[in-house]
Amino acid sequence: MNNKRPLLLISNDDGYQSKGIRSLVEMLSDVADIIVCAPDDARSGYSCAFSATIPLRLQKHEQYEGVEIWSCNGTPVDCVKLALSEICPRRPDMVIGGINHGDNASVNAHYSGTMGVTLEGCMKYIPSVAFSLCDYRENADFAPLRPFIRTITAQVLREGLPRGVCLNVNFPLVPMFQGVRVCRMTPGTWFNEVTKCHHPRGYDYWWMVGRYRNDEPEAEDTDRWALDNGYVAITPTQIDLTAYQAFEQLKAWPL
């Protein structure tokens, strides 16, 4: 590792072997040293979960000029915590989650392990960004994302981000991007989420499936609108969950 180059810590929720994270390393390895610490298998939907009751293991898979690739048997957040504690030779200049195979816009951001990576970095006061492509295929084409990811990464390395703020960046699956929109999270709802099935051996089981509904379909300042119209959506996301707009109502309660 070269102390004169920025250090990036990269993780995801698709696993260290996924095409998305490998593509991200290839896109950025010429501008920074990189440590990958990602789950040993897919951990989608783990959000900010961490392991409190199972022992964790690290395994080093590859090392070449400026790059180390590790895996962990825990969650995406476990990977970040362990990397910061045990692997990184110095404090990373940036934490990056992704590139995720699939959409992390709207309320999906609350469930995403890739966003868990980014929020964990942000809670450690490290500039952090999540990148996702709205394509769930294992062999998704990430090449069109390259100039945008390089530009956003360079900008964050140069200027940083406000304290307590990270970026959720989603790319639509379109032949050509229409541009970039800085936008808010779409209010959305998942419904019909549970499907009940009966096994031939006599017991019931359930699949978590569901359908998504955009609750503000006409709003043009949301991440969902941007993606539906071919734009790259950048959503500034904050750690502070306080609902400041509710203060006056709650202060008026007869408590």
State the pLDDT at residue 24: 98
- In Å, what is the CA distance from 61 to each residue of 35, 37, 179, 220? 11, 10, 37, 44
Q: Which residues contact 230 (CB under 8 A, 6 or more apart)?
A: 172, 174, 176, 177, 178
State the pLDDT at residue 60: 96
Residues of the chain below pLDDT 70 = none
State the pLDDT at residue 209: 84
State the pLDDT at residue 149: 98
Residue 98 and residue 112 in contact, taking contact as beta carbons nearer than 8 Å: no
pTM for this predicted structure:
0.94
Does the CA dihedral 82-110-224-103 come out positive or negative? positive
State the pLDDT at residue 192: 83
